[in-house]
């Protein structure tokens, strides 16, 4: 989810740079925000394990 948010931030920064637009926040700040979101994504923050109940073990449980 954080990687998608970073892609959106980078896309907005790219469009603002192409259009030479000014929205009150600097282009460098948007790029730093995108990099921060990517770093959090790489660190595993914001990732959820869906479907396996939070268990790291996959497959059948032997009895």
pLDDT tens digit sequence for 46-61:
776 655 555 555 667 6
Cα separation, 48 vs 51, in Å, equals 10
Residue-wise pLDDT for 13-50, tens only, equals 999 999 988 888 889 999 999 999 999 999 998 776 65
| Sign of the alpha-carbon dihedral angle for 35, 38, 39, 40 | positive
CB atoms within 10 A of CB 8: 12
* Alpha-helical runs (H) found in the chain: 2-19, 27-43
CA-CA distance, 51 to 49, in Å (whole number)? 7
The single-letter DSSP state of residue 62 is: P
């Amino acid at each position: 989810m954080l990687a998608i948010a970073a892609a959106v931030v980078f896309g907005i920064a790219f469009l603002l740079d192409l259009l030479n637009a000014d929205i009150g926040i600097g282009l460098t700040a948007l790029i730093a925000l995108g990099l921060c979101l990517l770093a959090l994504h790489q660190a595993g923050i914001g990732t959820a394990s869906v479907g396996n109940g939070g268990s790291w073990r996959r497959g059948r449980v032997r009895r």
